[in-house]
Each structure stands twice: as C-alpha cells, then as structure tokens.
Chain A
C-alpha cells in the first residue's frame, strides 16, 4: 500500500493581477521503504508539492484542487490543529540549508527533546535517552558529548545529520527532503545520501526527495517525477525515465547535464525554458573593436606563472606576534597557465580555490610567493598606472549573478563603465556602439541595454557579467563558479557561450568550480585543491581516467554516478 498518494493536486498563488498556478494537476505516490524523486528546474513547482503535503504553503498559496492521502486517509482538508499533529509525527521534513534550519540559540539536545516530547508521552529523561540514540543513529560520533553543543559547533554535514535526526524524532511514515544536499560538498553529499537511503530501508520510511540534481536522482531514487512549469511531464521508474526519457523536456534536460565520464564539445541546446538567443549580426573579430589591440606582447612560455603562493588570514589579532593566530588559506601553491588554455581549479569549499582567484586579480595581497603575468611580477606592482594596465588585461566573472551587478545602473552603463574608465574608446557614440555589439554578441540583444539588472533571470545576468568582463578586451578571464547558481539548462548555455568566446578571442581562462563534471567539460588542464594545497595538476582526460593523488580518486568515487542517464543527443569530443 502507498504511504503517500497525491491526486490531481493543484496549488494556486493568487496575485494582484492574476492567479499563479504553481502546481497544475499533479499525481504521484510513494510506497513505504521507497524513495520518490521530484526533479525540475527553478520555478517548476517541486518544492510547492512538498510544502502542500506537509501543510506549510506560504501565504497566500493554497490547495485549489485535488486530494492528498496519507495511508489512505485524506489529509489536505484537515483543520489547522490536526494538520500540525501530522507534522513531525507522521511526516518529517528536511530542508536545504543545514546552516539555517537549526535554532542557533538552543542546544541540539533541547531541540530534539522538545520535538520528541511534543509527539510522544515521554518523560524528560526518556526523551533525552532517545535523543542520544537518534544522534547515534545518524552517525554523529560521541553522541553523549555532542548533543550538549549548539548548532554552530557542528560542521555543515553534521548539522544536516542533526536535521535528519530531528525529522526522524517521532518515527514518521513519510519524510520529505527538500534539496537535502544542495548546500553540501560532494564528499558530504555522498555520506548524507547514503545515510538517507539506509534509514529509509531500515525504518521502512517512504521518502520524497525534491532536487534539481540529476546525480542525486540517479543515485538514490526508485521512482522519479519530472516537473516543468508546475506540470508533471514524466513519471516512472528512475532507470526508465533517465535511461529512455520520452518527453522532449526530459530528454533535453538530461542531455544538458554535464557528465564526468565523457567530454562533449558543445552541450545540446535546450530551448525549452529560456531562449538561448543567437547574435543578430556576425562580428568580424579581426576588424571589430573587440578584436583590436589584442596584439599583446607575445610571451615566451606560460602566460601566468604562480610560484610558492601563500596566503594566510589573521584569525586572532594580538599586539604580541607570538599570540596571533592565522588561517593558512593557500599553502605554497605553484602552477602555470599556458596562453589560450583553460586551467581548471577544483576542490571542496574552503580548499582555497577562490582565494587564488582573488590573489591573482590583486583583490588580496599574498603573504608570500610570486605571480608572474607575462613578464610582470604582480605582487610587486606599486605604480597605480601599472596596476590598472594589468587589471585591464584580466577580468573576473563571479558566482552570484544577483549581487555582482549594481542594481541601480542600467545594463548599458554597467557594460560601458570599464570601457570609459580605461579610456578604450573615443566618444560616447563609439562606446554606445561597442556596448550594443557586446550585448548582441553574448545573446542578450541590443534592447537589453535599456533595462535594469532585476529585469533579467540568473542566466541572463551571467551573460551581462560576461559582456562586462569582455568590455576591457581582456586577455585572461577568471571564472569563479560562474554557473553554480544556475539551472542545468542555463548552465549548458553559459558554458557554450564561454567556450565560443574563448575560441573566438583566444582568451586564457582560469576556471574555478566545485563540480568535477563541469570542470571536465571546460578545461584543458586541472588542478585539484584541498586544504589550501594543490594535490595534483594534470591534463583533463588523464585526471579523470588515471588520477594520481589519493584525494582525486576519492573525489571521483564520491561523485554521483551518471551512468543511468541517457546519452542521446551527446556527441563526445
């Protein structure tokens, strides 16, 4: 018998002008001991399904039609108080961000005990005993000790374990996990997914896993429901749906997922969500402004040479040098980047990869070592004119497309700013023409220049960032997690665009990502970082097929396997 049955569920959010239908006529069900995955891109309505089941829809959203059954009993029409009794008792929930889902001011124990005592007729001591057992069951060492601690004393992965323990307090029959591993590193993700699968089997719990990540779906789910714009487009056994997708949306979504096991020249274009936008007019790079003054001084050997780079941050200040404490973010890192290649830096959070980007661009002053760009030693530049000249040659694209653009400037002015600042064009009309060409070239269209950043989606904003980076006619582009805030289909477009631009303009790139699959698609050579040290540098295929360092092998093993996914539409390079 099914634990959860959702029949013809429709959820509406009435707005001032019209009613937004977030979930449209959706059916799905989960059996005990099985995991159902709900997958889709942002705005697909997948989280809304989970919130509707547990009865926590954000006002003014409401269930406009359909039925939800838990063990055959209808639950969507229960009064508020009875619904509350279901939460935690029958349905547990796990949220995305373990750093924010625990009350920072209460110990782990008190949060567990209050939940247990809300649902079960336990005395304080019995509840404490059960809390320790739960903490032990989710694999936290020293449960007796750790339970007395506050959430901030736990790492992200450990906190997600606490969250899972909290969801399991009253032995619910159904657990809803909303993006349970999105905020975690690969290695922690693998552990948490394994734990969820184990608990699901041992305790015979039905689980609804909501995620945008095909890897997670392929890894742990038994069934999968693919959602698109509130509708259920495909539903079935995971092997079936991923291996032989029927609906065109599922097909294109799966083909846009970067694979760690094969390298593709270009991603198949998914036009299902957002038009990729092709340039209206072709620019002849040899004559156009963008291609001019690319006659940078030729360099013998590598363009960028990093030698023994060190960076430490003071974590405790003191007037006595011996009492100061430091955090060593980058330790004796050395590597070269050849002209025209894409060098990838991969590692988990805190491994120091973004610090290197900031050191190279001069946002931080290194504590030691040297950075040679062409013939110039960047760490000893004093003269402001020289610094500016260097900065013009290297540009950066940041991770978060929402905070990296000034919300109060028009897109046209955002892109014109570096051109004017570095005096790269004569007169306003020429600047205007260049900005229009750039916007067109990154696939946004000339009309975009009039608008403000908030009028664009995440992917479009990242195109604006790219246009802005190109506006100084750089030679070296640093991309710091440029696509990790984007949906897969948009990510595929942006990665294609970066590849095209690099080929066209002969850019040299430093590409930083935590995602090995993306790195594989983009880079010629790859450096693997861990705790501020560079473990291994090798060619792309070599790294994936014959990793040298133990940590690289570990990372590769931990990646969710994509073998289930269909390979239609992919042409390997």
Chain B
C-alpha cells in the first residue's frame, strides 16, 4: 500500500512538472512579457533593465527552475490587468467556485445514485424509463442552455430565485467567504448548482444503472438470493458495493471537471468564481492568470485521481493483500 502510494505520488509529480513546463512556455513565449507589462512610452533601456530584473535573460532551464520553485510557493507573478499578485486574486475567487462545485457534486450524487439504483433494479418499470428519457435530455442539452432556461423559468417568470451573483456572503476565517450561512446566499446557489450538476447527475445515474444491471447477473448475487438473504441486503450490501469501483473513478474525474470547467455556468450566472476570472483573463491576454489556472486545474485533477486510487484500497480487498 505504501509502495503503491509512493509510486502514484511520483507519477503525479511527473505530471505536474510537465504541466508546469507548458504553463512556463505559455508565460515565457506567448507574447513578450515585458511588452505586456510596460507602457508604450517606456524606453528601450528601461525595458532592458526590467528584462534583467525579471531574469528573462537567464538560460531557459534556470528560468524554468525559478518558475517551478515560485509556483510551489503559490507565487505566480502579477496579473497584467489587475496589477495584483495572481495568488491573491485566486484566493478571493476560490471559495465561490469550490462552494458551487461542492454543492453541484453533492446534488449529482444524492439524486443520481438513488435514481441509478432504482432504474437498475426495476429496469422494466415506467418510472425507470422516465428517468432514462429525462437523463437523455440532461446529457444532450448544452449547459448554458439549461442555465438560461432555468433563469427564464425561476427568476424571470416565477421570480423565486436570483438570476446572478452569490447573494450575501459571510467571511469565515481570514480569507474564505461563504454563501452557505445566509438565505440569499443559499437561494443564489440553487440554480447554478443544478445547471452545473445536471450532466454529472445523469452520467452517474446511467453509470450506476448499467453497473447494477451487470452486477445483479453475477453468480454471487444469485447465490446471495439462494441463501435466502432479504432483498435489502442483496441489493445494497452485495450489489451496490460491487458497482462502486467504476463509479468512484468516474465521479472523481467528474468532480475535477466540475471545478475546472465551471466556466460556462459561472459566466451564465455571473458567479464571481475562478472560471469567470479565467474567461476575463483570456479576453485580456492576462498570461499569469491563465498559466496559474492551468496549473491549478492540473493539480486538482492529479490530487483527485490520487485520492480515488487510494479509495480503491478501502473498497476492494483484492488490491490490499497479495494472494497466498
């Protein structure tokens, strides 16, 4: 187990180094960083001095090493448009994105898993067929369209829920702000998290359904029934647990996707998260923000995958011990 975890950690570090190389390349070679920083009337001598001060004349490997060392200390340089350290900007935006992603992942799991179990166990029932048709809509409609539809229905027509923003937020600790503690904050969360989580929910539902159908055909489920175990035990202790390994894999990857690609939802709902900031950075060629976002996204994926790999050990005993 420890050997396995070390190996995975090493692999994760290699992945992060490769991504860092990409981010560095973008930072260093997409446009001239000095041109982006200074005004038009800066003289060539001043530019050269700045170049020297930023270390842009050093050999490339030295620059890369410096980039990695600084990134490891969360120092990603200064944003071109805001003239503020990128890490401060991210710290301000991260709580919004994480709260949104967490809520929509929770929504996808809490609704998707029971629906999947039901549809897997009662494959012929009318309700399961309804679930499947609805989930087809969830998969095929683009996110922004669902968002606009929800805004039109619940904000414009019914006027129940706000159409943009996070509502009222309360600071927790030195830098975190939360919308979980106020009524307006919670209300503001509902529409965006459904929009963001709908696709994941249908995916999880369909996955669980397919896995359940597969597992209930196996011999050990038949044998569990032949032993006279009540359906509850057969379905949940034996069938559901055996469907979990692939489900956790996909859920883990999807959670990464939710956090990293909340961009569209954040734009539709003007959600003040990282995605919105990233989009603005792209429009303004704000390279430091873009490369930091790239690194952060990669880090999230690698971290989640690592956790998923470790989770396998707790679910599947076959991975834990060698054969006798």
Contact = CB atoms under 8 A, between A and B. Distances in A.
Given A105-B315, A114-B233, A150-B318, A100 B227 contact: no
Given A105-B317, A114-B233, A100 B225 contact: no
Contact of A118 (B230, B238, B242, B317): B230
A107 B321 CA distance: 13
Contacts of A85: 228
B228 A56 contact: no
B171 interface: no
Interface residues of B, number: 25
Contact of B218 (A92, A100, A115): A100
B323 interface: yes
Contacts of A106: 237-238, 241
A49 to B, nearest CB: 15
B220 A102 contact: yes
Interface in B42-80: none
Interface string B220-238: 1011111111110100011
A169 B242 contact: no
B15 to A, nearest CB: 20
A95 interface: yes
Contacts of B323: 152-153
B227 A87 contact: yes
A471 interface: no
Nearest to A90: B228
A86 interface: yes
A150 B317 contact: yes
Contact of B227 (A97, A104, A107, A118): A118
B222 A95 contact: yes
A378 interface: no
A416 to B, nearest CB: 37
A54 B225 CA distance: 10
Nearest to A59: B124
Most chain A beta-carbon contacts within 10 A, residue among B219, B225, B228, B318: B228
Contact of A103 (B230, B231, B238, B321): B238
Given A114-B237, A153-B323, A104 B228 contact: no
A163 B220 CA distance: 10
A105 B248 CA distance: 15
A161 interface: no
Most chain B beta-carbon contacts within 10 A, residue among A85, A86, A101, A105: A105
A375 interface: no
B229 A115 contact: yes
Interface string A14-26: 0000000000000
Contact of A169 (B220, B227, B238, B318): B227
A239 to B, nearest CB: 31
Contact of B318 (A89, A104, A115): A104
Contacts of A104: 220, 242, 316-318
B39 interface: no
A115 B233 CA distance: 10
Contacts of A114: 229, 233, 237
Contact of A105 (B222, B223, B225, B316): B316
Contact of A86 (B219, B228, B238): B228
B324 A54 contact: no
Interface string B235-268: 0011001100000000000000000000000000
Contacts, number: 84
A498 interface: no
A56 B218 CA distance: 14
A101 B227 contact: no
B241 A105 contact: yes
Interface in B177-229: 218-220, 222-229
Give chain B's interface secondary structure class: helix
Contacts of B228: 84-89, 115, 118-119, 170
A101 B317 contact: no
Contacts of B222: 56, 95, 101
A21 B231 CA distance: 29
A115 B242 contact: no
Nearest to A152: B318
Most chain B beta-carbon contacts within 10 A, residue among A86, A89, A104, A166: A104
A56 B238 contact: no
Contacts of B225: 56, 84, 87
A534 interface: no
Interface string B300-324: 0000000000000001111001011
A527 B229 CA distance: 48
Contacts of A415: none
Interface in A73-125: 84-89, 92-93, 95, 97, 100-107, 114-115, 118-119
Contacts of B220: 100-104
A36 interface: no
Nearest to A178: B226
A488 interface: no
Most chain A beta-carbon contacts within 10 A, residue among B224, B230, B237, B238: B224
A119 B228 CA distance: 8
Contacts of B229: 88, 114-115, 118
B231 to A, nearest CB: 8
B226 A88 contact: yes
A89 B324 CA distance: 33
A167 interface: yes
Nearest to A158: B324
A101 B223 contact: yes
Given A95-B219, A100-B219, A103-B242, A56 B226 contact: yes
A114 B226 CA distance: 13
Top 10 A-B pairs ranked by shortest CB distance? A88-B228, A87-B228, A93-B226, A100-B219, A88-B227, A150-B317, A101-B223, A101-B219, A103-B220, A115-B227
5 contacts: A93-B227, A101-B222, A119-B228, A163-B223, A166-B227
Given A87-B226, A104-B242, A104-B317, 12 more contacts: A88-B227, A88-B228, A95-B226, A100-B218, A101-B219, A104-B220, A107-B317, A114-B233, A115-B229, A118-B228, A166-B227, A169-B227
Interface of B: 218-220, 222-231, 233, 237-238, 241-242, 315-318, 321, 323-324
